[in-house]
Structure 1
Amino acid sequence: MRFYKRLTPIKVVSFDLDDTLYDNVPVIAAAESWLLDALKHDHPESTLLDKTSLATIKRQLLRCRPELAHDVGACRLAVLTEGLSRQGVANGRARELAEEYYRGFLAVRGRIQVPKATHKVLTALGRHYRLAVITNGNLPIEHTELAPYFELVLQAGKDGRMKPAPDMFQRLAEQAGVSLSEILHIGDHRDTDVAGAVLSGCQSVWLNDANQSEAGLSCLPHLTLERLEQLLELL
């Protein structure tokens, strides 16, 4: 634990999700694998629906529709729809199929493994603070064991631009009826979580459990933790 700035009174503790409260790497890998296998099974003749081609379609769409960069769910749905359309599937049907594939992707995406330490921390903090989520991702949290802990959940796209933009931090303050300085945001990413929170006027904790270099910080958090459980020594 390393302090950079003194904490002031806190009313809301917000968390990033992916790689903060659980390991997201195997989850995304499994969901991506399911999606590619499903596309290959249903369209074995296709060379347009593999990982490389879908990435190319994504880059092309983002050039035409840059707003998709702030909504990973809408972006994935648009990529799948465009890929199926290029396969000759009629527009309306392409959208229907894309939504079906995306639902399957989300079902696998939601199979997270929440560590006991995360449960312990959220249970303890929930006795003293209002808890919230601010995420750039598309985890269907309502279908996971994390859902009961959080009063408010803000997700990029429907709740504003992605972190580090200030949109979701400001919206959380409005919905919770607190000032930005009364929010303590905790996350693993130096830019989206640390810089996003600090530049929005919130307090910030950087969860540096991957031993990243502090040289990559564009601004200082209030403190750095090596393990999520250290929050229990602090709050």
Structure 2
Amino acid sequence: MFVSFEGIEGCGKTTQVELLTTFLSQRGIPHLITREPGGTRLGKLIRKMLLDPAHSEMEPLTELFLYAADRAQHIAQVIRPALETRQWLICDRFADATTAYQGYGRGQDLAFIQQLNQWATQGLWPHLSLLLDCPVEVGLDRARRRIEDSALEGREDRFEQQALAFHQKVRTGYLELAAQNPARFRILDATMELERLHEEIATILEPYLNQKN
């Protein structure tokens, strides 16, 4: 079972992935948690380049190809091997993020991104994509408070520094993707209390728990 978590900055994906890890462990379900970018050794280097505010001059097309490179490596080294061993694969963002951020957010050609995603993923897509949706202002406020509370981060990454309009476009992109792929997507209200949101996610996943894929 391949499940992706999607959403704008500060939507709470990473927290919900952590809660889901505990849930699956308690059920005795073999699983692997990963993320994009950065799910492989090479991917960690790509992630650092993509998020570092020092690289503000990065061209949108360069950004797009770096994400595709990260994804191709991720598929080959992590995702496909995990699924072949019948583990659950939980991914913090996947190819839909490229469509939302680089397509809708950056204005890159959506048809080209679709083709690039197909090449990078080799046609392998999540069985289920959970979109944690919240107003942009709420998400960015959460992201900034997280930075203020962290002794390690200390600064916004290259995407968190983008203008409000950019994040609005990204959110619009995600919602349009969900509307275009209703069989795969579930939209959840990311403004609700953390534990309640986790319970909703667990309820969505319950029918899949005894499946073999």
Could you say whether these structures have the same fold, taking a TM-score greater than 0.5 normalized by the shorter chain as the test? no
Measured against the shorter chain, the TM-score band is 0.3 to 0.5
TM-score (norm: length of structure 1): 0.34
- Determine which structure has greater relative contact order: mean sequence separation of CA pairs < 8 Å that are 6+ residues apart, divided by chain length: 2
Which has more helix, going by share of residues? 2
Of structures 1 and 2, the larger Rg is shown by 1
TM-score (norm: length of structure 2): 0.37
